[in-house]
Structure 1
């Protein structure tokens, strides 16, 4: 994984994390100002803002990860440049799985960083300007941490699905489309405010489906490359 990070200079995407976070903060700011200034609206509650952040942050970085998947995994397979890596004395499945692990890790870390920055921003804004209808309590802070953990794990799992469909179709555009669809399907999949046990149960089911899809895709596509080489 260290070689992959160095090879593709993934550290340059750190800038993208902060740009995306600034855009999310800008969206939240507009929403907060609108709810404060429009007499027909009531202020958002702290927990409703947290739920909004979950959708925005997780969705943004699932799409972000689909771009990485398209460029660094499916693109290499489609262009057959991955055959060079297959000459290394490393199992081919391990090479692909390392790339996937890199994408999943990047997604989870990005979500954690962005989420934390957004929550700190909202907390400071609430302390100074009283932008929410809630008083921030220890219970709400624990709720926010719980939601962050769910978002990090969910985003990492969802980032596998663009690979499965994209590799099946051998297309670099399909993963981005699938990533966008998956991002918009978060609420139908998870529900609006699932209990912790329900959330982890749903994530576990998604993970099992994703791992089965990854395994089948690996077997089929590696065999396909072997046949084309022979």
Structure 2
């Protein structure tokens, strides 16, 4: 399995993915800082550090679900569309294992980068807050532990959710459909306002993660039925 993962990493250069992840993370930090700093105090865009973390998490998950859609398009949908995946299927390795490795790579990359980006962004915002005092009070150890556990849970959920665009992409072997479906998912899971925030409800991405895992399982089970001609 690890050998196949390394082969996939060699086959597809992921420099664009990591570059995009770094740029997106820095942009999210700048966006949250600017929202807090520019808005007038009467409007209270972010009331406290906890709400800032919710917004950061929503931005991070939205970004990486879309990046996962692009990754799915590159690793799987384009190969089906160009018929190159059928050349890969002629190798003396199980088709299920080959497609499973691709899906595992997408899920792992998404989950890890979501957690790292979320954690880094939150730490930087906390550091900026210690100098500029955007939010009142000092975060306690219990609060920080709760936030880290929340980030881990959301990261795992996002990893599963990132597999949903695969279904829409495979139906018509369409790259645009794959990316568009990831954008629609983002619209569903990233809504936030002070009155009601879907972005703070972990059960929504967890439910979508179950759907994503079921789609991955369905894809792996049916890969043997793919037409080789």
Does TM, normalized by the shorter one, top 0.5?
Answer: yes
Cα-to-partner distance string for 1:130-166 (whole Å, 9 max, x where unaligned): 1113421112212220221122112101110011111
**Within 2, Cα distance between the matches of 1:208 and 1:162?**
13
Q: 1:144 to 1:204 in 2, by over 3 A?
A: closer
1:3 paired residue number: 7
Structure 1's unaligned 5+ residue stretches are: none
Please tell me whether the aligned partners of residues 70 and 178 of structure 2 are also in contact (alpha carbons under 8 angstroms).
Answer: yes
Cα-to-partner distance string for 1:65-86 (whole Å, 9 max, x where unaligned): 1001111210001110011111
- Taking only aligned residues, the RMSD between alpha carbons, in angstroms, comes to 2.0
Moved more, 112-121 or 7-16: 7-16
1:50 deviates by 0.6
* Corresponding position: 1:151 with 2:183: no
Structure 2's unaligned 5+ residue stretches are: 192-196
1:57 deviates by 0.2
Equivalent position SS for 1:168: helix
Q: 1:125 to 1:58 in 2, by over 3 A?
A: same
1:107 paired residue number: 110
Corresponding residue pairs, total: 219
Please tell me whether the aligned partners of residues 66 and 179 of structure 2 are also in contact (alpha carbons under 8 angstroms).
Answer: yes
**Within 1, Cα distance between the matches of 2:41 and 2:113?**
36
Please tell me whether the aligned partners of residues 46 and 140 of structure 1 are also in contact (alpha carbons under 8 angstroms).
Answer: no
1:205 deviates by 3.9
**Within 2, Cα distance between the matches of 1:128 and 1:41?**
22
Cα-to-partner distance string for 1:168-212 (whole Å, 9 max, x where unaligned): 221111110011111121157x94534xxxx3x655543433233
The answer to which structure has the higher helix fraction is: 1
1:117 deviates by 1.5
User: Residue 178 of structure 2: which of 166, 175, 183 is its match?
Assistant: 175
Please tell me whether the aligned partners of residues 108 and 155 of structure 1 are also in contact (alpha carbons under 8 angstroms).
Answer: yes
2:43 paired residue number: 41
**Within 2, Cα distance between the matches of 1:26 and 1:94?**
41
Superposition TM-score, scaled by structure 2 size: 0.87
Runs of 4+ residues deviating >2 angstroms: 41-44, 190-194, 201-222
Superposition TM-score, scaled by structure 1 size: 0.87
* Corresponding position: 1:185 with 2:192: no
* Corresponding position: 1:24 with 2:42: no
* Corresponding position: 1:141 with 2:144: yes
Moved more, 61-70 or 129-138: 129-138
1:165 paired residue number: 168
